Amino acid sequence: MQFVDEVKIYARSGDGGAGCVSFRREKFVPLGGPDGGDGGRGGDVIIEADAGLSTLLDLKQRPHQKADRGRHGMGKDRHGASGKDLTIRVPVGTVIKDVESGEPLADLTEAGQRVVILKGGRGGQGNARFSSSTHRAPRFAQPGEPGEERWIRLELKLLADVGLLGMPSVGKSSLITKVSAARPKIADYPFTTLVPNLGVVQYKDYRSFVIADIPGLIEGAHQGAGLGHRFLRHLERTRVLVHLLDLQRLADSDPVDDFDTINRELALFNEELADKPQIVVINKVDIPEVKVRVPEMTALFASRGLVVLPISAVTGEGVPALLDEIARLLWPHP
């Protein structure tokens, strides 16, 4: 299934039905009086969070969404039927924004959460409503009110407790495969991961947390460089960031520079991202030339007040200690 995490759609609620101008016409009933019924209410546009959805693909294919209009009133005091509400189902974690103003309209973070985005038009009153002792034969009725319309943007932000980040090919997909049942694509070339992957980690004492593997970030990601700019917002809901470093990534690369570059991109995209708790992890310590550099890197990051955890996502070395550190940050008071 194609992963779509942002769409723009046009939505319109239903128009209200018009009231009816009618007079009672029956044998032996002279001057029967007005009997025009009211028009029906137009349908609302409702957006609901559905735990069974994980992408906005369906709405990308159907960007125009309209609720039913109300039916017109009829004679013999028959009211028009109300229009059927339109319920648009989206994944949990979807943010709804007005396209024109950019104003956030709702943030659906729980399954079953619903919000009425557009109210249907009110139905018009029939002429029977306007009959009085001084005006016994009103020959007018109200038209139905028009529905509302607007362009809205839907942005999906994954609901994950932990976010994995780092330069391309540092082993994020390998790590999420090791600690959860997620099976993302793994290969030895940059940008293997094209979409975020979610995995559930079963921790001790029947506790669990959700971990997200975000596509690799590079310098300029917040402006659109690479792939990461499309997915930086998926880190906004996370509580802990695990920052993976690869001492073998490129011959001319500096892991400290890589660390600083990514944190700069986080801050430029959203300052709150750079302030989230981070765990620095050196991956691939099963490779001798990487393992021998761990003390050097540990000392460098220690001078910044950061603790480094060496792991191997392939062999599992150091992974239990990493999960313990994540749990300590997620649940500081067991």
Q: What is the chain's pLDDT, residue by residue, as a tens digit (334 residues)?
A: 467 888 999 999 999 999 999 999 888 878 788 999 999 999 999 999 999 888 898 999 999 999 999 999 999 999 999 999 999 999 999 999 999 999 999 999 999 999 999 999 999 999 999 999 888 899 999 999 999 999 999 999 888 899 988 887 788 888 888 888 766 554 443 444 456 778 889 998 888 999 988 876 645 544 444 445 567 788 888 999 999 988 876 555 678 888 888 888 888 888 888 889 999 999 989 998 889 989 988 898 888 888 899 999 889 999 999 999 999 999 987 5
User: Do residues 182 and 124 both lie within one domain?
Assistant: no
User: Do residues 33 and 134 both lie within one domain?
Assistant: yes
Is residue 89 in a domain? yes
Q: What is the pLDDT of residue 197?
A: 79
The tokens describing 104, both together, are 């956030």
Is residue 1 in a domain? no
User: Do residues 120 and 229 both lie within one domain?
Assistant: no
Q: Which of 115, 132, 156 is the last residue of a domain?
A: 156
Domain that holds residue 81: 6-156
Q: What is the pLDDT of residue 23?
A: 93
| 184 contacts: CB under 8 Å, gap ≥ 6 | 173, 176, 177, 193, 197, 213
pTM of structure:
0.78
Q: How many CA atoms lie within 13 A of 218 on its CB side?
A: 10
Q: What is the pLDDT of residue 74?
A: 96
Number of domains in the chain: 2
Q: What is the pLDDT of residue 290?
A: 87
Q: Which of 156, 179, 207 is the last residue of a domain?
A: 156
User: Do residues 128 and 171 both lie within one domain?
Assistant: no
- The enclosing domain of 27 has a CATH number of 2.70.210.12
Compute the distance between CA of residue 213 and CA of residue 193 in angstroms, rounded to an integer: 8
Q: What is the pLDDT of residue 225?
A: 44
Is residue 306 in a domain? yes
Q: What is the pLDDT of residue 183?
A: 64
User: Do residues 148 and 175 both lie within one domain?
Assistant: no
User: Do residues 131 and 167 both lie within one domain?
Assistant: no
The tokens describing 62, both together, are 């159907």
Compute the distance between CA of residue 210 and CA of residue 330 in angstroms, rounded to an integer: 11
User: Do residues 133 and 222 both lie within one domain?
Assistant: no
User: Do residues 126 and 19 both lie within one domain?
Assistant: yes
- The enclosing domain of 183 has a CATH number of 3.40.50.300
Q: What is the pLDDT of residue 158?
A: 83
Q: Which of 92, 127, 156 is the last residue of a domain?
A: 156
User: Do residues 201 and 288 both lie within one domain?
Assistant: yes
Q: What is the pLDDT of residue 2?
A: 65
User: Do residues 44 and 58 both lie within one domain?
Assistant: yes
The tokens describing 301, both together, are 């990051």
Q: What is the pLDDT of residue 253?
A: 66
Cβ count near 28 (within 10 Å): 4
User: Please, are residues 97 and 58 in contact by the beta-carbon 8 Å criterion?
Assistant: no
| 84 contacts: CB under 8 Å, gap ≥ 6 | 14, 43, 67, 68
